[in-house]
Amino acid sequence: MTRDSLAYTLAILTGLLLWSAASHFGQSREPWDSELYWTLFYPLAVLLSGIFGAAFPQRPWRWALCLIGSQLLVMAASGADFGLLPLGAVMLAILSLPALGAAWLGAKLSRR
């Protein structure tokens, strides 16, 4: 397994775990319907994006998109309304912006 493959696998699995935990502990089908998502799981995803960016500094945007984007898989697996999936994708794109910034910052700091 290459270093990039390992990073992708870890980022996606971490994202799946975060969003599944947010759904479970927040007791909602979609994580962002829970207060726990906004106070714990989303900030943790942004922080983890920065850590992934520091650990794998080449093209760090990938890790933020994997972490945040994996929520689409959780939404689909939980039986979310597929008619709202495009709106969910737009929402996740917006939510990925702080994670992208954190990944970029982590990468920049690791290069020093």
pLDDT per residue as tens digits for the range 32-45 = 788 899 999 999 99
pLDDT tens by residue, 2-30: 888 999 999 999 999 998 888 889 887 77
> What is the secondary structure of 48-107 as a DSSP string?
HHHHHHHHS-SSTHHHHHHHHHHHHHHHHHTT--GGGHHHHHHHHHHHHHHHHHHHHHHH
Q: Assess whether pLDDT exceeds 90 at residue 101.
A: yes
